[in-house]
Amino acid sequence: MSAPPDLPDVVARAFAVSRRAGYVSFCRNETGRLLATLAATRSGTMAEFGTGCGVGTAWLRSGVRDDATRIVTAELDPRLAGAASEIFVDDGQVEVLAADWSTLLDKGPFSLLFLDSGEPTEVGVDAVADLVEAGGIVVLDDFTPCEVWPPISYGRVDTLREQWLTDPRFTTVEVMVASDASTLIATRR
Ligand SMILES: C[S@@+](CC[C@H](N)C(=O)[O-])C[C@H]1O[C@@H](n2cnc3c(N)ncnc32)[C@H](O)[C@@H]1O
């Protein structure tokens, strides 16, 4: 089966790897396009916490504009990290680590950080603020759009979203990528 024509090749390869691995927890295409667009504004080193099978990484890679920009991504599950590595086996600009995201702490500062390990309490603002260079961007996805303040999710105050939207170290916006999905984009001051 050929890949949809609107997908970058590297993303189509990542979907093929995900399918073979039976993995479905990848970012949605709307978020992927946002990642690619933001990556196209970046240089230096970008990072991702939680590679999965490499779909988000591939979207980031599709936006990279030059040969010097790098992406490092960490995945706790070695089987998934191994699968994601296949996508980038011939690509010296992407490094997939089978490791906890904390392994990346000494690889910054990052020009973009995609927080997608699904551990909101652990990966709060304090944990990552100093990993991001001035003007660097943090992206968090998988929020449900909310028009009230403070933001409510599943009947409770969404303290993670509240924290990111109010932290003085970042200028942060919540952007709807679909009618049922929003993403936080935070720029380090
Ligand atoms: C939502 S999935 C990632 C999807 C991927 N970023 C994408 O866009 O396609 C979350 C992944 O984070 C991984 N993960 C969970 N805790 C982690 C940790 N402490 N360090 C690294 N990866 C972790 C999980 O194994 C899972 O594969």
- pTM of the predicted model as reported, rounded to 2 decimal places: 0.96
**Mean pLDDT along residues 53-62:** 98
Q: Across all residues in the chain, what is the average pLDDT?
A: 94
Q: How many CA atoms lie within 13 A of 37 on its CB side?
A: 9
Ligand 1 neighbour 174 (Cβ under 6 A): no
Architecture of domain 28-188: 3-Layer(aba) Sandwich (3.40)
Asked whether the predicted pLDDT for residue 1 surpasses 50, the reply is no
At residue 129, the pLDDT reads: 96
Q: Is 8 exposed, middle or buried (0-12, 13-18, 19+ CB in 10 A)?
A: middle
Pocket perturbation via mutation, ligand 1, pick of 15, 53, 76 by most ligand atoms within 8 A of CB: 76
At residue 5, the pLDDT reads: 66
- How many helices and strands, by DSSP H and E, does the chain display? 6, 9
Question: Taking a C-beta distance cutoff of 8 angstroms, is the pair 85, 107 a contact?
Answer: no
122 Cα nearest atom in ligand 1: 19
18 Cα nearest atom in ligand 1: 9
53 Cα nearest atom in ligand 1: 9
Q: Where are the domains of the chain?
A: 28-188
Give φ, ψ of 16 to 5 degrees: -65, -40
Rounded CA separation 86/13 (Å): 9
